[in-house]
């Protein structure tokens, strides 16, 4: 049982270190196996993508390749990222524009998206609610807590284990009293 607890604490420490370091190194969102992990902050794509989920998008490539019903992530004029479904493709080559709409929105987005503003394509991989944890990990407080807390638990548990072992080996605690009669 002791090995299982130690392994769980150690693995959680490694996982949290990976999440924090990769999110800091990539400038915000972690990368994994060539995919960028993005946090969904609104309900515009519900029910297919829940608020607070993380999604995997495939960045790069020919940003003029998308067709109707593809789900793309793009940069808006205010530098925010949005993931919406393509309703219509207009133009060709560098002049390609996408009319997009969130699945949960009544109307299409106000302005068409230029292909040069597309960041990547959503590949259908979603983990619900993990985005809240990753968003928290990006904060200063989150970084400190997610790196320090598992390490602290591991140290405390190790200290308890050492203390119990020393206590079992201490001869003054293990003497049996004999009654001479």
* Cβ(89)–Cβ(66) below 8 Å: yes
Whether 139 is a known active-site residue: answer: no
Cβ atoms within 10 Å, residue 84: 22
Give the active site residue among 12, 42, 44, 115. 42
Q: Contact 45/104 with Cβ under 8 angstroms?
A: yes
Angle at 113 (CA atoms; ends 109, 119), nearest 5 degrees: 115
CA distance 119 to 170: 63
Q: What's the rounded Cα separation, in Å, for the pair 169 and 143?
A: 39
Three-state DSSP at 175 gives coil
Q: Token digits for 133?
A: 């944890």
Positions marked active-site: 42
């Amino acid at each position: 049982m002791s090995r299982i607890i130690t392994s769980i604490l150690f693995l959680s420490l490694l996982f949290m270190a990976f999440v924090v370091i990769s999110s800091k190194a990539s400038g915000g969102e972690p990368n994994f196996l060539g995919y960028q992990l993005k946090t969904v902050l609104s309900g515009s794509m519900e029910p297919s993508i829940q608020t607070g989920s993380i999604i995997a998008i495939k960045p790069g490539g020919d940003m003029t390749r998308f067709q109707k019903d593809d789900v793309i992530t793009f940069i808006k004029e205010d530098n925010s990222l949005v993931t919406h479904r393509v309703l219509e493709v207009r133009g060709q080559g560098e002049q390609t524009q996408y009319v997009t709409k969130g699945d949960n929105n009544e109307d299409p987005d106000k302005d068409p998206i230029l292909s040069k503003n597309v960041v990547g394509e959503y590949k259908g991989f979603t983990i619900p609610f993990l985005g809240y944890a990753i968003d928290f990990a990006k904060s200063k407080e989150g970084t400190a807590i997610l790196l320090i807390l598992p390490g602290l638990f591991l140290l405390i548990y190790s200290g308890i284990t050492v203390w119990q072992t020393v206590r079992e080996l201490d001869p003054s605690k293990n003497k049996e009293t004999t009654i001479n009669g």
